[in-house]
Structure 1
Amino acid sequence: MAEQKALEDLRVEGDRPDGVVVRDALGVGVAVGLSGFAFGVTSAGSGLTLVQTCALSLLVFTGASQFALVGALAAGGAPLTAAAGAFFLGVRNAFYGLRLSQLLSLTRAVRPFAAQWVIDETAAVALAQPTRRSARIGFVVTGLSLYVLWNVTTLLGGLGAEAMGDTDAWGLDAAGPAVFLALLAPMLKSATERAVAGLAVVLGLGLLPVLPAGVPVLVAALAAPAVLWAQGRRGGDVREGER
């Protein structure tokens, strides 16, 4: 009887009502989608036209890469270097896609369209669900709400920046990095994550005076393998000492 009750409790905990999944997915979509306004302002301040700014959100649709691209351009970086930094940041979405393709198990006809929505937020919501059905609902609701709101707020941010004129005079050039930090900070829960973030900041800021704009972002990406290598080396030394 005790085992049967435990199994029933497990099934109850693992079964999430559709309404709960939709609510959580909408919360993520709305919260992150509003930061599209900051991107619109930052992009306009970097010299991109309103059409170019909106095209980035419509076609690229990965916030980190978009901010990296316009940030490098605003700092005077070459377009090719800026695009390279944005590309390498966007590569992580391909790894999300490998996991989500198994979890969601979508038809071949749908996969090319779903690929546009494979980003940090949709992957996080989908992977947090206990069943395939709830994962699909979370992925679609998060992707749709975030895509629509991100593009609407990008347009509003670009229009607002044009109306204000010089965004640097308003201090809005710092809007993008501020939003980035606000999204990143709550995710740094383990010592390893904090070490990677700290080293990336040191590399990125420390190399700004000596490397072309956009290149420090690429170098900062080496923080993750460097920290993991150091941890592996320390773990090996500890095992050697125990012997």
Structure 2
Amino acid sequence: MEQYTTLAEYYDRLTGDVGYSRWADYVERHFRRLKRPVRSVAELACGTGSLTSILASRGYQMTAVDLSADMLSVAAQKCQDQEVLFLCQDMAQFTLLEPVDAVICCLDSVNYVTRPQRLRRAFSRVYQHLAPGGLFLFDAKTPLAFEQADGQTYLDEDESLMCVWRADYEPRRRICGYGIDLFTLRPDGAWNRESEYHEEFAYTPEELHEFLDQAGFTSIKIYDNLKMRAPKEDSERIFFAARKD
């Protein structure tokens, strides 16, 4: 079953609590720490383009990459008055027209790359497409986050939309699967039901650090969720900031 097909149309209604402006503020805090100005930014797994749009409005030259054509269609509509380049590509094989000053990948999108070898390739592609001195910034859920989610059922709804999803974590495979049922209200008062299935891989911080090191990155630093301090042992989301010399 494909991911982010049916869900794409309703994604923004289900993620109204994400706080993309706060994420953009955090991204810019890391940009300001660089020794070089950041003008061009590529966002991997951009989804419906909410963060892309905010950064574009703040003056960055944005390239938005995502594997889902349905999500990119929504993003293109959202950014129709902005100069954003959209690319429908796999992050393990993406190609940019020219090097960029920064690459970002947010909302645990790296966990959706469920084969470690493919994530290694993605990090290598990022390194190749960064300008010297450029920054790679991304977040990831920790194994603890998936352990805590195991067996939990979640519900998001409004008057005409209901999304029910259950998380099941398999420690041996290190895969957390999400069965997602989406119910939408029809004009005749009946409800349509559609389903998707998503999977995420539980990477350890040590593995992600190793992948970055193998790709050639230096000055690799780890931060707590949307903080500028080191993560705690019980952190469920962490950020990596890696620089290309």
TM-score norm. by structure 2 comes to 0.25
Tell me: higher relative CO, structure 1 or 2? Use CA pairs within 8 A at least 6 residues apart.
1
The structure carrying a bigger strand percent of its residues is 2
TM-score norm. by structure 1 comes to 0.26
Q: Which of these two proteins has the greater Rg computed from alpha carbons?
A: 1
